[in-house]
Every structure is written in C-alpha cells, then in structure tokens.
Structure 1
Amino acid sequence: MPLKETHGSEGFREIDRWDGGVGWIAHPDETMQRASHALVADGDVWVIDPVDTPELDDLLAEFGEVAGVVVLLDRHMRDAEAIARKHEVPVYLPTWVRRSVSGVPVRRFEQTLADTDFRALRLFDNPAWQEAGLYDETTGTLVVPESIGTAEYFRANHERLGVHPMIRLLPPDELRGLTPERILVGHGAGVFDAAAVTLADALDGSRRRYPSLLASTVRRLSPF
C-alpha cells in the first residue's frame, strides 16, 4: 500500500454523506487516506482541501453550484487550483495560511468563511504549520484538516480519532470544549457517532497514549 499516490485517481470512495455535504477519498488504497469534502451552506457548495477524481463534478452537482474552493492547511493545496479553475471560482484561504495561488482569484478570510456560518478556528500559525478548522455550531459540523484524523497512523490502540503524531504533546486548545455532531477530517473517514465525546477523549488522551502510538507505529513499519 503506497503512502501517497502520485498518479491521477482512477475512482474514489465516498465517505461522510449527510444532508449538509459529502466526503470522498480519491485514492482509497493509499496509507495517508487523504479525504476531501464538499459542504453546503445556503445552497452554495464549498469544496474543502480537494483531491480530484473522475466523476467529481457529478458528485458535487448533487448538492448545488460550487461557490469556492477552500484550503485549510498550508500543505493541503492538493488539486484546489485546478478545481477552482474548472468551476471558475476563487480559492479561499485563511489569512494566516501562507500559500501562493496562481491562475485563479484568491479570497482571504479570518473570522468566518465568506457569508457562511462556518467559524474559522486558528489551530496553528507558525512557520512550520499553518492550519485552520471550520465549525458551524448550528449544524454541529466540525472540519479539521490535519490536527486530528482517523487514518491508522493517527490512532493509538482503541482510539476512534487521534491527534496527529507530530503534535501529540501539544494538541490545539481551540478544539477543546467544542460539541460537534460530526467531525470531518483531512485523513480518513469522519466521526458521526458520539462525536463530541470522541473529540474530548482524543484530546484528553493525546499525551498519555503517545507511547502506545509510537509502539504501534514501530510494529507496523518493522519488517520482522
């Protein structure tokens, strides 16, 4: 199983469908499990950290017209520019996510995503890591591109949701106290059952379970 596929997607696996959007993994067999999402707000479709795939246009059309493509992490440009050009919409970036974009208009946001109810969470803002989350308290939808995930390498034993290995000792405080009904992540399928409890458990156990995560990672990588 490759860590990350570099060729074009030949078919996607749909994840996270609900009445407010849908998610997909363009390369279901890769270890990174890069997940993308489309969120619906007032009839507009916002495409989040997308990896392109055949028939994506048909999938998005089920939910409405694309209003913009959103990049929430400095490392998640993925196919954002190409998809924005195809739909003739801007790329939306949080003010603290420092990425250059070419060939398409750029819109910056800080408090909320455009005119939606999605509040921007400043999760990390340093030279090595710039990340935003999105949270709509009305619908209970939380989007976190990197700090937490459900792909195997995020999770210690018995965890449904785990903090990224690089920040296990200092998970972002901005996620504490949130009570989402669903959690959409940038790596792996989302959490739709007991989401608030699962998030709190992931954050509270992040440091304590770090040795267990390291041990399981070594076992997975060991050739013996």
Structure 2
Amino acid sequence: MPLKSTGDARFDSTDPWAGGTTWIAHPEESMRRASHALVVDEESWLVDPVDCDGLDDHLADLGAVAGIVVLLDRHKRDAGAIARRHDVAVHIPEWMDGVAEEIDAPVETFGTTFADAYTVYPLSRSRFWQEAALYDEENGTLVVPEAVGTASYFLAGDERLGVHPMKRLRPPRRLHEFDPERILVGHGKPVTTDAVAALDDALDGARRRTPALYAKAARELIFG
C-alpha cells in the first residue's frame, strides 16, 4: 500500500450527510487523504481537497462552489487547481504564514468565523505546524485536518479516532471544548457515531497509548 498515491483518482463519497460530503480520492494509499464539501446556504466550500474524476459532477448537485478552504499549512493539495477551475478563491486563516505564495490561485483570508456558520479555532500556530479547526455548533460538525484522524497510522488499540503520532505526547486538549455529532478529519473516514466519546477517548488515552502506536508502526515498516 503506497503512502501517497499519484495515480488516477475517482470520486467516491464515503460520508454524504445533510450538511455536506466527504471523499477519499485514493483509498488505496495509507495516508487516506480525506476531503470535504461543507454546504452552507446552498453553496459548497471545499476543505483541503484532493482532485479526482467525477468530483465536479457531484459538486453540481450540491450547489455552486463558493470557495476552497485550507486548514493546515501542508494541505494545499489541489486547492489551486480546483479554485481556478471553478473561478473561486482559496481561503486560509489570516494568521497562516507561507501558504498563500505557494497557491496558484487568488487567496483570501478569514478570521474567527467562516461562511457565517463555522467558528474558527487555532490548534497550532508554530512555524513548523499551522492548523485550524472549524466547528458548527448548530449542526455539530467539527473539522480537524491533522491533529486527529482515523487512518491506520493514527490509531492504537481499539481507537476509532486517534491523535497524530507527533502530537501524542502533547495532545490538542482544547478539542475537549466541543460536543460534535460528527468529526471530519484530513486522513481517514469521518467519525459519525458517538463522536464525543471517540474524541474524549482519543485525547485522554493519547499519551498512554503512544508506545503501542509506535510499536505498531515499527511492525508495519518491517513486515509491511
């Protein structure tokens, strides 16, 4: 299983719901890069998107594309190409450095709210890791691009949601502030059932399960 695939990708919605959808363009890769379309007022905002065949046909059913959102400095992905195709801007947090100049499309910034529906929460603002989360209290949608995920390399034991391997010793505990119905992540399928319990378990057990996660990663590296 490749870490990151560069081959042909097809649209395959893994979690359609009333407020949007999620797709994983390359399900064969171990990174399991996930992208999301958030529907607000009959328009869609694409979060950290990976392009694929059939995507535009799906988006046409959601309403006009209002813009592209990048929530992690490393998740530029196909934001520029999709933005140009739909003649929209790429939106990034106003405090995120070193991203705008690497996107070949118009760039706009946003502050503490987004699309009049989501509140923006900085999770990391270091020069090595810049990440923001989005939360819609009304519909219970929490979007976290990297700090937690459901791809295999995030998970230890029976976790359904895990803290990123590099964040395990200092987990993002401010995520305890939220009471989500669903959690959309940047790597892996969304958590759509008992989301609060999965999030609390991930954060509370992150440090304790770190040795097990690292041992699992070593076994997979050695034995494939």
Instruction: Give the TM-score taking structure 1 as reference length.
Output: 0.96
Structure 2 partner of 1:80: 79
Alignment of 1:99-118 (within 5 A): 99=99, 100-113=101-114, 115-118=115-118
The one-letter amino acid paired with 2:69 is V
Please identify which structure carries the higher helix content: 2
Structure 2 partner of 1:220: 220
Q: Alpha carbon RMSD of aligned pairs, Å? A: 1.2
- Residue 141 of structure 1 contacts residue 183 of structure 1 at CA under 8 Å; is this kept in 2? yes
- Residue 123 of structure 1 contacts residue 172 of structure 1 at CA under 8 Å; is this kept in 2? yes
Instruction: Give the TM-score taking structure 2 as reference length.
Output: 0.96
| Displacement of 1:96 | 2.2
- Residue 133 of structure 1 contacts residue 142 of structure 1 at CA under 8 Å; is this kept in 2? yes
Q: Secondary structure at the match of 1:15?
A: coil
| Displacement of 1:141 | 0.2
Fraction of identical pairs, as percent: 55
In the alignment, structure 1 segments of 5+ residues that lack a partner are none
- Residue 133 of structure 1 contacts residue 143 of structure 1 at CA under 8 Å; is this kept in 2? yes
| Displacement of 1:103 | 4.1
The one-letter amino acid paired with 1:47 is L
Instruction: Go from structure 1 to structure 2 and tell me whether the alpha carbon gap of 1:28 and 1:138 turns closer, same or farther (over 3 Å shift).
Output: same
- Residue 49 of structure 2 contacts residue 77 of structure 2 at CA under 8 Å; is this kept in 1? yes
Instruction: Go from structure 1 to structure 2 and tell me whether the alpha carbon gap of 1:85 and 1:155 turns closer, same or farther (over 3 Å shift).
Output: same
Q: Secondary structure at the match of 1:119?
A: strand
Instruction: Give the distance between the partners of 1:102 and 1:36, measured in 2 at CA.
Output: 17
Alignment of 1:16-55 (within 5 A): 16-55=15-54
In the alignment, structure 2 segments of 5+ residues that lack a partner are none
Instruction: Go from structure 1 to structure 2 and tell me whether the alpha carbon gap of 1:19 and 1:219 turns closer, same or farther (over 3 Å shift).
Output: same
- Residue 144 of structure 1 contacts residue 186 of structure 1 at CA under 8 Å; is this kept in 2? yes
1:74-114 deviation digits (Å, cap 9, x = unpaired)? 0000000000000001100011222024442211112011x
Instruction: Give the distance between the partners of 2:179 and 2:6, measured in 1 at CA.
Output: 36
Instruction: Give the distance between the partners of 2:112 and 2:118, measured in 1 at CA.
Output: 9
Instruction: Give the distance between the partners of 1:61 and 1:180, measured in 2 at CA.
Output: 28
Q: How many residues align?
A: 222
- Residue 26 of structure 2 contacts residue 32 of structure 2 at CA under 8 Å; is this kept in 1? yes
Q: Is it true that 1:69 corresponds to 2:96 in the alignment?
A: no
Alignment of 1:81-160 (within 5 A): 81-98=80-97, 99=99, 100-113=101-114, 115-160=115-160
- Residue 122 of structure 1 contacts residue 174 of structure 1 at CA under 8 Å; is this kept in 2? no
